[in-house]
Chains A and B, each alone.
Chain A
Amino acid sequence: MKVVIIGAGEVGYHIASRIAFEQKEVVVIDTSEDALRHVSESIDVQVVHGSGSSPSVLKEAGIEDARIFLAVTDSDHVNIVACLFADYISPKTTKLVRLRDTDYIAYKKKLQTYSPHIHTVINPDVEAVRAIERFMSVPGAVDVGDFADGRIQLIGFRLEKGSPLPGLRLMDMPKLENGGNILIAAVIRQEELIIPSGKDVLKEGDLVYIVCETRYLTQTLSLFKIDTTPVRRVMLIGGGRVGFKMASALEKRSIKTKIIEKDPKVCLKLAENLNKVMVLQGDGTDQNLLLEENIQNMDMVITLTGDEETNILSSLLAKRMGAKSNITRISKFSYFPLVEAIGIDHIVSPRLSAVNTILQHIREGNVLSAISIKGEQAEVLEAIVSHDSNVSGKSLQKIPFPKGALVVGVVRKDDTFIPTGSTIIQADDRIIIFAVREVIAKIEKIMTVPLKFY
């Protein structure tokens, strides 16, 4: 499979490195030779120098035989023009584009039905807001993801002191009273990802990923003693594009929200467009302001300014002054490993969110969606079992899934359940697979329909 990416920025680079790792052919186009050198030196891809919106450059990159075309430069204009020409040259190629401007987003449907026939429009800001909302749904968790239209949830949480779990073998785990299943999909211990078996013992400090059905969520959370107090008061710092989107989303959910923004003009605009949200003009790192606005009573502080150093500092300051938890916007991927060490609860990155959304669309076979978890060592894939697939009609034990992959959920018509080894997979089932990076290509192969002859 060939993928052509225009834009070797942080998003382009990251996607390229992820898919090149899975033995796919990747061509990256960019106007900056420095960026291209960085790409070609560290990952096994081909690079083409030139503007992605130029048809001749697209041809040189071999767009004709590309399965997927990604336009992820920083400029919406370049992205759209590039898609347009990609559509003329190679109509068969699936086109994914990153667009920032909300003006364009309004025409999403038109862009899909008429030329350039964009398959998916990705707005990093919207993706970031969605990620924040997921975090807010389970405040005690480190990582939250949902599948099967939200019927199955993946929750990552750290085993703190006082949790009942450390020291237990997985097979002795407490069970839910009404028969629902919970599955431990993965454990991250000292930066290392383990797909555990029944005999493994949990330890304090482990980051545990559990899968459960959404209807048993509260029950599960209380069983594991995870904080479930809903978020009622939120302080937003930074009123830019993401900040504004977040504020309006919170407004809709009737959560008491205050938003701090430095720029008086932006504040005016915010006040114009928001009704219930309290708009405050000031500096997010100003202690007095935070005190005045009762930072100690806040359930959550979300820092979303464009400057990540400011975000980190305000988040830490707010937490120190008594805010219960924080979410910090960080763009530089190289800062991610620091996050936990310095006391930031959650990070959100429009770029990382965009990367994840794009990856969902790149998966081959009947794979519907995918999200990646902590440190990108593993992914959760969602796939439909087709009639003629090798998988249907077999029990889970008999399917030759590679080591490092685990089926964590099955959706059958309106029924959702967590499977055991003897569960038989049927055609049209949606199965949810947890897999480490190395085996993703193999799973795609297993899930791909065998060759059809006409």
Chain B
Amino acid sequence: MRWRYILWFVGTLSCFLGLTMIIPLICSFLTHDNASWPILKSAGITLIVGLLLFFGFRIPNNDHISPREGIAIVAMGWIAAGFFSALPFYFGHAFDTFTDAFFESVSGITTTGASVMTNIEAVPASLLLWRSFIQWLGGMGIIVLSLAILPLLGVGGMQMYKAEVPSPVPDKLKPRIRDTAMILWKVYAGITIAEVIFLMFGGMSFYDSINHALTTMPTGGFSTKNASVAHYDSVYIETVIIVFMMLAGINFSLHYQLLMGKPLAFWKDSECRFFIFFVFIITLVLTFNIYPIYDSIGKSLRYASFQVVSIITTTGYGSADYELWPSMTQIILILCMFIGASAGSTGGGMKCLRIMIYFKYCYKELISLIHPRAVSQIKLNGKPVSSEVVSSVLGFLGLFVGLFAINTVLLAALGVDLVTAFSAVASAIGNIGPGLGTVGPTDNYASLPSLGKWLLVWCMLLGRLEIYTIIILLIPEFWRK
């Protein structure tokens, strides 16, 4: 492994991140919120470190990058991005400790949306914008973005793309990785702008619309209000956000196909059908389950649908306190955290595609017990799925559940109660945000011990980069020459 390549890339990424800090800086000048100096200081530090690495480790253009280096670059890139993004919060005194600032920042870039801010509305507007903005950057992926805009990475691009884009079967929309990345980001940015406009129609202020659009599309879930979306108490705004959360939870290559003039793209994709159908069923079940509390079909449908979509797409906005709902509903919501959105979307969790492959595999095994000589193939969209993909899916699901269990035990060992530990880890590893107990929709993560916060930071990174890219850093073989 050639360290200079990794450091050089991390440097490039830091330079880029430092430049994007201009956005909250402008916001700060416009709103006079006294956060300009901390942001300027953070931008300065990020840029200087970035430039030092960039010029210190210059590499020949277009050199080949091995798969191992690709993984290391993505993992290190994300950790560095989490670190530098935390600086504005830390210097801006939004938090007392660096741990809290780092937690908030990683929760941002991994699109988790778990917060340790106790009073969000008291934080300077520019810092909240930064918080939403890093979530937006992390949603489609910082590496994919750099592939799209930096003309540096042709050859090793695919390695990094695969390490960052969450999908068991990565598809390339265009022959060149750069064009693919460009398309994904254009679609992503386009839908975000559309959401800003729709939200403003609902009477949300320009600033809040931008913030909410920036956190809906990456399925992040940071809000500028203490009460999250419930603050607005508007059916229109909730409907708009539901629609855009669903869009964010659908594979982005389908959006591209739709825009390319294939109106049936969503319907023809079996994963997308499964996803929409699943959301529909769960919403119905929950509506009936919470009906006794609200005593109105309209209200229960409104709260149930928002909460179901918010959790399944791993966004994590709150419009109602689901901890007051029946325990069956709460358990269903927790299970939904594991399932997550579609592959190739910005959502987290295990992904519908994997769940589908898993169930098809189970069914095939059962069939082979009844008909021992049966020959069958697992198919998706009418095409056979190679046995390699199937076994990687099984491996992923096993690792996901295993890591969830281990981390729950570790968090409980730090003195956190059962429900909180269980739901906090599920929420962090699935990149959702709120959990149950002391980390429920109306509380936040501030009360956790600081070691517990670090543990959850690790879980969030595991979840965002789909386990393998992060867990591989713990394998000694990875570091051997």
Question: Considering only CB atoms, which chain A residue lies closest to B386 in the complex?
Answer: A33
Taking A21-B62, A21-B154, A33-B386 as contacts, is the C-beta distance between A44 and B67 under 8 angstroms? no
**Other-chain contact of B175, A42, A45, A438 (Cβ < 8 Å):** A45
Contact B174 A25 (CB under 8 A): yes
Task: Kindly list chain A residues whose C-beta atoms are within 8 Å of the C-beta of B174.
Answer: 25, 46
Task: Kindly list chain B residues whose C-beta atoms are within 8 Å of the C-beta of A438.
Answer: 61-62
**C-alpha gap A343/B468 in the complex (Å):** 47
Question: Considering only CB atoms, which chain A residue lies closest to B156 in the complex?
Answer: A44
Question: Is A23 in contact with chain B by the CB < 8 A criterion?
Answer: yes
Task: Kindly list chain A residues whose C-beta atoms are within 8 Å of the C-beta of B67.
Answer: 41
Task: Kindly list chain A residues whose C-beta atoms are within 8 Å of the C-beta of B61.
Answer: 438
Question: Is A40 in contact with chain B by the CB < 8 A criterion?
Answer: yes
**C-alpha gap A41/B70 in the complex (Å):** 11
Question: Is A105 in contact with chain B by the CB < 8 A criterion?
Answer: no
Question: Is B268 in contact with chain A by the CB < 8 A criterion?
Answer: no
Interface string of A38-67 (1 = CB under 8 A from B): 001111111000000000000000000000
Question: Is B13 in contact with chain A by the CB < 8 A criterion?
Answer: no
Task: Kindly list chain A residues whose C-beta atoms are within 8 Å of the C-beta of B64.
Answer: 42
Contact B179 A25 (CB under 8 A): yes
Interface string of B61-82 (1 = CB under 8 A from A): 1101001000000000000000
Question: Is B210 in contact with chain A by the CB < 8 A criterion?
Answer: no
Question: Considering only CB atoms, which chain B residue lies closest to A22 in the complex?
Answer: B154
Please give the distance in Å from A49's CB to the nearest CB on chain B: 9
Taking A21-B62, A25-B175 as contacts, is the C-beta distance between A44 and B154 under 8 angstroms? yes
Interface string of A377-389 (1 = CB under 8 A from B): 0000000000000
Question: Is B176 in contact with chain A by the CB < 8 A criterion?
Answer: yes
Task: Kindly list chain B residues whose C-beta atoms are within 8 Å of the C-beta of A20.
Answer: 154, 175-176
**C-alpha gap A40/B175 in the complex (Å):** 10
Contact B386 A2 (CB under 8 A): no
Interface residues of B, CB < 8 Å — how many? 17
Question: Is B403 in contact with chain A by the CB < 8 A criterion?
Answer: no
Question: Is A15 in contact with chain B by the CB < 8 A criterion?
Answer: no
Task: Kindly list chain B residues whose C-beta atoms are within 8 Å of the C-beta of A45.
Answer: 175-176
Question: Is A443 in contact with chain B by the CB < 8 A criterion?
Answer: no
**C-alpha gap A275/B178 in the complex (Å):** 58
Contact B175 A2 (CB under 8 A): yes
Interface string of A346-369 (1 = CB under 8 A from B): 000000000000000000000000
**C-alpha gap A173/B155 in the complex (Å):** 41
Taking A21-B62, A25-B179 as contacts, is the C-beta distance between A41 and B154 under 8 angstroms? no
> Which residues of chain B in 148-193 are interfacial with respect to chain A, using CB atoms and an 8 Å cutoff?
154-155, 157-159, 172, 174-179
Contact A44 B386 (CB under 8 A): no
Task: Kindly list chain B residues whose C-beta atoms are within 8 Å of the C-beta of A2.
Answer: 175
Please give the distance in Å from A5's CB to the nearest CB on chain B: 11
> Which residues of chain B in 325-374 are interfacial with respect to chain A, using CB atoms and an 8 Å cutoff?
none
Please give the distance in Å from A241's CB to the nearest CB on chain B: 34
**C-alpha gap A447/B375 in the complex (Å):** 58
Question: Is A27 in contact with chain B by the CB < 8 A criterion?
Answer: yes
Task: Kindly list chain B residues whose C-beta atoms are within 8 Å of the C-beta of A26.
Answer: 175
Taking A41-B67, A43-B155 as contacts, is the C-beta distance between A25 and B176 under 8 angstroms? yes
Task: Kindly list chain A residues whose C-beta atoms are within 8 Å of the C-beta of B176.
Answer: 20, 23, 25, 44-45
Task: Kindly list chain A residues whose C-beta atoms are within 8 Å of the C-beta of B386.
Answer: 33
Task: Kindly list chain B residues whose C-beta atoms are within 8 Å of the C-beta of A41.
Answer: 67, 158-159
**C-alpha gap A43/B175 in the complex (Å):** 10
Please give the distance in Å from A435's CB to the nearest CB on chain B: 16
Please give the distance in Å from A446's CB to the nearest CB on chain B: 19
Please give the distance in Å from B445's CB to the nearest CB on chain A: 40
Task: Kindly list chain B residues whose C-beta atoms are within 8 Å of the C-beta of A46.
Answer: 172, 174-175
Task: Kindly list chain A residues whose C-beta atoms are within 8 Å of the C-beta of B172.
Answer: 46
Question: Considering only CB atoms, which chain B residue lies closest to A437 in the complex?
Answer: B62
Please give the distance in Å from A428's CB to the nearest CB on chain B: 35
**C-alpha gap A43/B177 in the complex (Å):** 10
Task: Kindly list chain B residues whose C-beta atoms are within 8 Å of the C-beta of A44.
Answer: 154-155, 157-158, 175-178
Task: Kindly list chain B residues whose C-beta atoms are within 8 Å of the C-beta of A23.
Answer: 154, 176
Contact A40 B158 (CB under 8 A): yes
**C-alpha gap A160/B178 in the complex (Å):** 46
Interface string of A7-31 (1 = CB under 8 A from B): 0000000000000110101110000
Question: Considering only CB atoms, which chain A residue lies closest to B177 in the complex?
Answer: A44
**Other-chain contact of A27, B157, B175, B177 (Cβ < 8 Å):** B175
**C-alpha gap A40/B169 in the complex (Å):** 13
> Which residues of chain A in 140-178 are interfacial with respect to chain B, using CB atoms and an 8 Å cutoff?
none
Residue of B62, B174, B176, B178 contacting most chain A CB atoms (<10 Å)? B176
**C-alpha gap A45/B157 in the complex (Å):** 11
Task: Kindly list chain A residues whose C-beta atoms are within 8 Å of the C-beta of B178.
Answer: 44
Task: Kindly list chain A residues whose C-beta atoms are within 8 Å of the C-beta of B157.
Answer: 44
Question: Considering only CB atoms, which chain A residue lies closest to B155 in the complex?
Answer: A44
**C-alpha gap A43/B157 in the complex (Å):** 9
Question: Considering only CB atoms, which chain B residue lies closest to A17 in the complex?
Answer: B155
> Which residues of chain A in 259-314 are interfacial with respect to chain B, using CB atoms and an 8 Å cutoff?
none
Task: Kindly list chain B residues whose C-beta atoms are within 8 Å of the C-beta of A42.
Answer: 64, 155
Task: Kindly list chain B residues whose C-beta atoms are within 8 Å of the C-beta of A40.
Answer: 158
**C-alpha gap A46/B176 in the complex (Å):** 7
**C-alpha gap A43/B172 in the complex (Å):** 13
Please give the distance in Å from A253's CB to the nearest CB on chain B: 43
**C-alpha gap A295/B329 in the complex (Å):** 90
Please give the distance in Å from B170's CB to the nearest CB on chain A: 9
> Which residues of chain B in 28-86 are interfacial with respect to chain A, using CB atoms and an 8 Å cutoff?
61-62, 64, 67
Task: Kindly list chain B residues whose C-beta atoms are within 8 Å of the C-beta of A27.
Answer: 175
Interface string of B126-158 (1 = CB under 8 A from A): 000000000000000000000000000011011
**C-alpha gap A76/B420 in the complex (Å):** 66
Please give the distance in Å from B177's CB to the nearest CB on chain A: 5
Question: Considering only CB atoms, which chain B residue lies closest to A45 in the complex?
Answer: B175
Please give the distance in Å from A238's CB to the nearest CB on chain B: 35
**C-alpha gap A185/B275 in the complex (Å):** 62
Task: Kindly list chain A residues whose C-beta atoms are within 8 Å of the C-beta of B155.
Answer: 21, 42-44
**C-alpha gap A26/B176 in the complex (Å):** 7
Residue of A2, A43, A46 contacting most chain B CB atoms (<10 Å)? A46
Residue of B67, B155, B157, B179 contacting most chain A CB atoms (<10 Å)? B155
Residue of A27, A42, A44 contacting most chain B CB atoms (<10 Å)? A44
Please give the distance in Å from A90's CB to the nearest CB on chain B: 16
**C-alpha gap A42/B174 in the complex (Å):** 16
Residue of B159, B175, B177, B386 contacting most chain A CB atoms (<10 Å)? B175
**C-alpha gap A26/B177 in the complex (Å):** 11
**C-alpha gap A191/B149 in the complex (Å):** 33
Interface string of A83-113 (1 = CB under 8 A from B): 0000000000000000000000000000000
Please give the distance in Å from A151's CB to the nearest CB on chain B: 35
Question: Considering only CB atoms, which chain A residue lies closest to B171 in the complex?
Answer: A46
Please give the distance in Å from A1's CB to the nearest CB on chain B: 11
Please give the distance in Å from B126's CB to the nearest CB on chain A: 39
**C-alpha gap A2/B179 in the complex (Å):** 13
Please give the distance in Å from B446's CB to the nearest CB on chain A: 45
**C-alpha gap A381/B64 in the complex (Å):** 26
Please give the distance in Å from A43's CB to the nearest CB on chain B: 7
**C-alpha gap A438/B62 in the complex (Å):** 9
Please give the distance in Å from A309's CB to the nearest CB on chain B: 28
Question: Considering only CB atoms, which chain A residue lies closest to B173 in the complex?
Answer: A46
**C-alpha gap A325/B179 in the complex (Å):** 50
Question: Considering only CB atoms, which chain A residue lies closest to B157 in the complex?
Answer: A44
Interface string of B98-116 (1 = CB under 8 A from A): 0000000000000000000
Known: A25-B175, A42-B64, A44-B175. 17 other contacts (CB 8 A): A2-B175, A20-B176, A21-B62, A21-B154, A21-B155, A23-B154, A23-B176, A25-B176, A25-B179, A40-B158, A41-B67, A42-B155, A44-B177, A45-B175, A46-B174, A46-B175, A438-B61
Q: Which 8 A-B pairs have the closest CB atoms?
A: A25-B175, A46-B175, A46-B172, A44-B177, A27-B175, A44-B154, A26-B175, A25-B176
13 contacts between A and B (CB under 8 A): A20-B175, A20-B176, A25-B174, A25-B179, A27-B175, A40-B158, A41-B159, A42-B64, A44-B154, A44-B155, A44-B158, A44-B177, A46-B172
Residues on A facing B (Cβ under 8 Å)? 2, 20-21, 23, 25-27, 33, 40-46, 438
